[in-house]
């Protein structure tokens, strides 16, 4: 089981860490890359919305910044 954060910025990220613990994956956007990295049984925490929101057309290389 892995913990994913999607769309968190600024102090909201630190608030989420206090509430849920340190994430295993951080996704800036809800895009195809984020969806592909989530396995069955993983926990996904969204800053806004949920998994039913529209998926961004372009993917974002999250790994380039961590």
Supply the DSSP string of 39-51, one letter for each residue: PTT-EEEESSS-T
Q: Structurally, how many domains does the chain consist of? A: 1
For position 22, what pLDDT does the model report?
Answer: 96
For position 62, what pLDDT does the model report?
Answer: 62
Is the torsion defined by CA of 66, 54, 1, 23 positive or negative?
A: positive
pLDDT by position in tens, the chain (length 66): 999 999 998 899 999 999 999 999 999 899 988 999 999 999 999 999 999 999 887 776 666 655
pTM of the model: 0.84
Quote the DSSP letter at residue 57: S
Domain extent, residue 53, equals 3-65
For position 65, what pLDDT does the model report?
Answer: 58
For position 66, what pLDDT does the model report?
Answer: 54
- Smallest CA-to-CA distance from 2 within 50, 37, 51 is with 37
């Amino acid at each position: 089981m892995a913990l994913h954060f999607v769309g968190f910025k600024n102090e909201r990220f630190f608030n989420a860490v206090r509430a849920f613990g340190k994430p295993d994956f951080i996704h800036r956007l809800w895009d195809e890359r984020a969806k592909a990295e989530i396995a069955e049984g993983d926990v996904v925490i969204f800053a806004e919305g949920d998994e039913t929101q529209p998926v961004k057309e372009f993917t974002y290389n999250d790994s380039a910044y961590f």
